[in-house]
Amino acid sequence: MKKLGLLGEKLGHSYSKEIHEIFFKLTGKDASYKLIEKEMEDIPSFMQELREGKFDGVNVTIPYKEKIISFLDEISPEAKNIGAVNVIKISHKGKKTILKGYNSDVIGFTKSIEPLLERGHKKALILGTGGASKAIKYGLNSLGVQTLLVSR
């Protein structure tokens, strides 16, 4: 059984577990999904758990999308340019475990917004400066839209 989860600090509001479990049931996937609440001081030991095989992959949310990067072995070019990771893939090369970070926020956002953009859409104001906001900025810029991030 694949063991997957969502890493974050406070996850009581999250529907990720329910959504993933419904998906697994509908698609016949042999997998489980767990909410993984950790404080920052617990992250190094959690990363060791990933290396030891306690999970097959994790999603990352607030407040760790940016902070988690220093704990990874590799990072995709998009995630590096964005400066935020929301997916950690765990793979193995011989006896070595590789933790690689990706950013799927940019793909989801860009594919969703692109059909709605019209010729006059040249600028966007993004409310927020966290990891998801950075992914939106990257996505809009890749579509030729100038952006401005504003902190709450």
Q: Pick the closest to residue 35 from 67, 62, 68, 75 (CA basis).
A: 62
The active-site residue out of 3, 17, 65, 111 is: 65
Hey, what amino acid is at 93? K
Give the pair of three-digit tokens for residue 127: 């409310």
Q: What is the biggest distance separating any 2 CA atoms in the chain, rounded to whole angstroms?
A: 53
The dihedrals phi and psi of 21, each to the nearest 5 degrees, come to -65, -35
The question of whether 65 is a catalytic residue gets the answer yes
Instruction: Give the active site residues.
Output: 65
